[in-house]
A and B are shown apart, each in its own frame.
Chain A
């Protein structure tokens, strides 16, 4: 029995489900559009060649600004199905410039998005300490459960379990209850964070 093609299909399916693209922290005015992009990205029949023009159309219609246009294109490029690392890196750089030019009240959140994207690229390429630097910067700019989770995932990849536990304890004291609940859910379901599961609830 030749299992190689089956392995590839199964692993590909699992890989695609391991890549999360939440839009919870996005500016509310653009959140619905970004969620639609996320949904289309994760559709089984996703075609990047069709998805990209559709994202550009959302931008042309004014539903997303240029920062989010570039963010969405990066997320597509870095997705397991596409895995175009150089394009993903280029788009993150372009997104940073767009965020700086846009400025305004969402500057920190927009730059946190860039940091997160760069961290994910480093993480997916196996450079976990570099990823940790980017994820930490993202967390400094924007305190969300997603950013905490990425920091913890990078620390655990580096074998820094004690430090991860210390951060978790700090999170219990400082993050809002809803964010703590979000993080708790991530730890309960994410195998990369399994080492942080304990008898005590967050």
Chain B
């Protein structure tokens, strides 16, 4: 999972200390969140390809890593409904 995120960040030119890159990072998070792209779904995408990814984001991404490169999914978000 982190390997894939690293690829995405690098592909988008994100670095920790640059304002423009911070904006890029925020845009990425917004895209992921608005489209309900949880970590699990990103991991699925990483394994299966990025056909489902929004075109605006997909055009900025490198090819997904090979399946054997994506091994760390323990940091996945747990998506659950805790209604009142």
Contacts and interface: CB of A to CB of B under 8 A. Distances in A.
Q: Do A and B come from one complex?
A: yes
Interface of A: 1-3, 5-7, 9-11, 13-15, 17-26, 34, 37-38, 68, 71-72, 75, 78, 80, 113, 116-117, 120, 123-124, 144, 146, 149-150, 153, 189-192, 194
B84 A124 contact: no
Nearest to B41: A191
Contacts of B38: 14, 17-18, 191-192
A25 B83 CA distance: 8
B40 A23 contact: no
17 contacts: A1-B16, A3-B5, A6-B16, A13-B29, A14-B32, A17-B36, A17-B77, A18-B80, A20-B80, A20-B81, A21-B81, A22-B81, A22-B84, A75-B82, A120-B80, A144-B83, A192-B79
Contact of B25 (A6, A153, A190): A6
Given A6-B25, A9-B25, A17 B33 contact: yes
A14 B39 contact: yes
A81 to B, nearest CB: 13
B9 interface: yes
Contacts of A1: 10, 15-16
B75 interface: yes
Contacts of B25: 6, 9-10
B2 interface: yes
B11 interface: no
A140 to B, nearest CB: 16
Interface in B23-65: 25, 28-29, 32-33, 36-41, 44
Contacts of B75: 7, 11
B83 A19 contact: no
Given A17-B33, A78-B82, A194 B77 contact: no
Contacts of B10: 1
Contacts of B83: 20-26, 113, 116, 144, 146
A96 to B, nearest CB: 15
Contacts of A146: 81, 83
Contacts of B14: 6
B68 interface: no
Contacts of B79: 18-20, 153, 190-192
B6 interface: yes
A124 B80 contact: yes
Nearest to B2: A7
B29 A14 contact: yes
B64 to A, nearest CB: 16
Nearest to A33: B84
B33 A13 contact: yes
